[in-house]
Amino acid sequence: MSSQQAPLRHLAIIMDGNGRWARRRMMPRVMGHRQGARTVRRIVRACAQQGVEVLTLFAFSTENWQRPQDEVESLMQLFMESLERETNPLQENNIRLRIMGERSGFSPDLQAAIERAEAATASNDGMILNVAANYGGRWDIVQAVQHWCQDHDGDVSALTPEALTPYLATGELPEPDLLIRTGGEHRISNFMIWQMAYTEFYFTDVLWPDFDEAELSAAFEDFAQRQRRFGRVIESC
């Protein structure tokens, strides 16, 4: 008998394929991002219904600033619109919004919108929707070490993985149990590289705008078959 699979507490998703979805339909890339935002709404609702404690979405990486300026501007506008449109539904569904990343890179108006949305949902105690925006895994580790050193006078002799963990952008959140990446790519693209030391990976060719509740269920079913060892040997009979 194999050990029972632990519950899926924290799901992370790299939402890839918006641009290709639009290109295949002879549309501007921004239309793919807008369709992808609609998918976000459905998947957030489905995860909350299935008891996921934390859902982390990779929305905008530190490398995404290298995209064409008009696309970046469209993404920033879509981010602003989504914050304004989705805050009330999140509040109504008891979902807490949390944004992680280097906020100073955003405009003052967008930073203010982030703060308003987080404040409006701060008392919710249901699922945490953790959105990674202007985020990179290497940035996360560097800023964590910097903040740890500030609190310990620069003496790294007592620095341990356990001591550094609370300084990461994920803070008090559990580490991801499962990472889903859509769009057919098989890499993590500088996403929570510290936190995903023992995360299970699930890759699908489905483009993010086409990812639906059935695809989510397929990923969950695949995860349920995994045997997570965390470096241990698990006896079976």
Q: What are phi and psi for residue 32, nearest 5 degrees?
A: -65, -40
Q: Which pLDDT score, from 0 to 100, does residue 53 have?
A: 98
Whole-number Å distance between alpha carbons of 117 and 124: 12
- The CATH topology of domain 10-135+177-224 is Undecaprenyl pyrophosphate synthetase (3.40.1180)
Q: Which residues are annotated as a binding site?
A: 16-21, 29, 33, 61-63, 65, 67, 181, 187-189, 200
Q: Which pLDDT score, from 0 to 100, does residue 235 have?
A: 61
Task: For 160-210, write each residue's pLDDT tens digit.
Answer: 999 999 999 999 999 999 999 999 999 999 999 999 999 999 999 999 999
Q: Which pLDDT score, from 0 to 100, does residue 2 have?
A: 38
Is the pLDDT score of 6 beyond 90? no
What's the longest Cα–Cα distance across the chain?
59
Q: What is the pTM of this model?
A: 0.92
Domain boundaries along the sequence of the chain: 10-135+177-224
Q: Which residues are annotated as a binding site for substrate?
A: 17-21, 29, 33, 61-63, 65, 67, 181, 187-189
Catalytic machinery residues: 16, 64
